[in-house]
Structure 1
Amino acid sequence: MPSVTHEALVELFKNRPTLAAEMLQDALGQPVPAFTEARVVSSDLTEILPSDRRADVIVVLLVGEQERPAMAIVVEVQLGMDPEKPYSWPVYVTQTRARHRCPTRLLVVAIDAEIARWCARPIDTGHPGLTLMPLVLGPEGVPVVTDAAQAAAAPEVVVLSAMAHGQGEAAEAIGAAFLAAVAGLDDERRAVYWDLVLSSLNAAARRTLEAIMKSGYEFQSEFARSYVAKGRDEGRKEGRLAGLLEAKAQDVLAVLEARGLEIPAEVRERVLASTDLAELDRWIRRAASVGDARELFATTGS
């Protein structure tokens, strides 16, 4: 049975049909034809073969008003070494090519480096000259997304970035960038993506996101709600205003630092000197999206 991680990665490519083409071109340097639409099509390949043949995702790039197929991309998410894949992947490619009558690529997504190397091995079909070279998107090929604007424009890419690089040095910046994408997501995607990002990040990056969640955000994800409830409960038990003020001030600075923003001395001093909990909560939320630390103190907006 497919794991939660496997299904979550599959959903990223279904939710953003252009993602497969973007990863082929931008991450792997593979040429992709100009297209007017990327469409997820049926991945059931059992029309000719009696056995069950179902790829994870098949995306067809269409051109013009007549929606002519320009390229098909078979996306396979691989979390382990499966000896059956060298036999099924060539079938997926040839069957998809026959169905849609267009060039077809195999894109294998593996967030573990060792698995990615295994997936990239050439597959000798036994026919002279017919060797399939899987195009593998491993962790080193996944972009490190730390820019808020990029994250907002492509939420699935920043989620993929968190899954691939969430244990590294860029984890806090990736998490902060993801915050910019939250507002534009529907409830279902917000819940799923929050869980994926939070479960992928290291402890320090989680703490940064915890600070923002405690500041008054309301999220759909059960994982996120548990952190909010925990934070509120701890706040009630602590009952000491000075401790809460200091913690929230440090949260503001932590978010700014995680995003790589320079914090002038006067900004740091003003944040640490604040005695207004509501003001600090407002600054925590702003810290996730401002382009300059001084913008925390703007008199308009939230």
Structure 2
Amino acid sequence: MISTQHEALHRVFRDNPELCTSVFKVLDIPFPSPTEVAVVDTDLTEIKPIERRADTIMMFTSLEGQHAVITESQSKPDDRKTAAWAHYISHVHVKFGCPVTLLVICQDEATAGWAALPKTIGLPDWPTLSIRAVVVGPHNIPVIDDLAEAVNDVVLTMFSALTHARSKEVAAILEVLADALDTTDTTSAGHIAEQTEVGLGNTDARRIWRDLMATKTYRYQSEYAQLLRAEGEAKGRAEGKAEGKAEGEAVGEAKALLRMLDRRGVVVPDVVRERILSCTDTTVIDTWIDRAVHATSLSDIFGIDDEQPEQG
């Protein structure tokens, strides 16, 4: 099952195309300066056979022509990817008639080391096809913990946090990212803050980020963070008990989820709204919020076709 963290690691390029140029620059890999960037259909399925769907495919147009970049999020070594990646590359090359680069994003060095190895098809000493991906991860994306550097490129700083999510340096990166976002427009900053939350996945880094959002005041803070803090503190003060604070957090998260759905134009029937607001399990609501980041319908969040969320 594809996780929301998996989605965030490649969608960050789709939502912030300039990140691709920044990453290639960091890796000292020449890449044409784009005059236009477009996200293209990721469905690479043929008429009948096995379905093949890449994570993200972007088309960069420059004075030198077009160049496709296939972006894949990889959480662990998987030798089955050799066939899948070979299909993606050849299909995109034939379909668009342009050079193709495979960019693989990893959050740990073991997976990055595996992904960086040439993937071959054919005889061991005479491969018919060899795949060499551009691999990014904690081994080659810099730790950005300087505020001036973070302000200069907040998207790259966010990506630094995502790739170093399991590194001890992530706390320092998140600190400067939070401050750097306060220097940009609130709409963009709020969107990047949400992408950071999802991309960090179920890690200690996500808890560090949530603490930053809940304990500090930033003008860009997402409604989720503001409501979580306000409702949690208010309920905690009123009841003076841990369970009161937990209940307040659940109410805050539920309201934040409903407002996120409203912003995305997802219609929420009264019966579903009541179920969401009555859920007291913050873990369940957190899962719904993660899914809501890219949701276009209730089924994207609750994993069902009808409009009844699972009980929390």
What is the TM-score when the length of structure 1 is the normalising length?
0.64
Q: Give the whole-Å Cα distance in 2 for the aligned partners of 1:224 and 1:117.
A: 40
Q: Is the 1:158–1:174 Cα contact (8 Å) retained in structure 2?
A: yes
Question: What corresponds to 2:43 in structure 1?
Answer: 44
Gaps of 5+ in 2: 241-312
1: distance between equivalents of 2:31 and 2:71?
A: 15
1:144 equivalent in structure 2: 143
Contact 1:145–1:174 (CA under 8 A) maintained in structure 2: yes
| 1:192 match | 194
Is this contact kept in 2: 1:190–1:220, CA < 8 A? no
Kindly provide the amino acid, as one letter, of the partner of residue 97 in structure 1. H
State the Cα RMSD in Å. Answer: 3.2
State the alpha-carbon separation in 1 of the partners of residues 135 and 61 from structure 2: 23
**Structure 1 residues 198 and 211, CA gap change in structure 2 (3 angstroms):** farther
Contact 1:146–1:173 (CA under 8 A) maintained in structure 2: yes
Measured at CA, do residues 168 and 47 of structure 1 come closer, stay the same or move farther in structure 2, by a change above 3 Å?
closer
Q: Percent identity?
A: 28
Whole-Å separation in 1 of the counterparts to 2:156 and 2:43: 26
Do the aligned partners of residues 46 and 21 (structure 1) sit closer, same or farther apart at CA in structure 2, a change above 3 Å counting?
farther
The correspondence of residues 160-199 of structure 1 with structure 2, limited to 5 A, is 160-179=159-178, 180-181=180-181, 183-186=184-187, 189=191, 192-193=194-195, 195-196=197-198
Question: 2 CA distance for matches of 1:217 and 1:33?
Answer: 36
Does the CA contact (< 8 Å) of 2:154 and 2:181 recur in 1? yes
> In the TM superposition, what whole-angstrom CA distance separates every residue of 1:238-295 from its partner, at most 9, and x where no partner exists?
8xxxxxxxxxxxxxxxxxxxxxxxxxxxxxxxxxxxxxxxxxxxxxxxxxxxxxxxxx
Tell me how far 1:114 sits from its aligned partner. Answer: 1.3
1:106 aligns with 2:102: yes
Classify the secondary structure of the residue corresponding to 1:91. Answer: helix
Structure 2 residue aligned with 1:125? 121
SS at match of 1:186: helix
Say whether the 8 Å CA contact 1:195–1:224 is kept in structure 2: no
* Corresponding position of 1:62: 61
* Equivalent in the alignment of 2:224: 222
**Which one-letter code corresponds to 2:73 in the other structure?**
V
Distance in 1 between residues matched to 2:54 and 2:143, nearest whole Å: 27
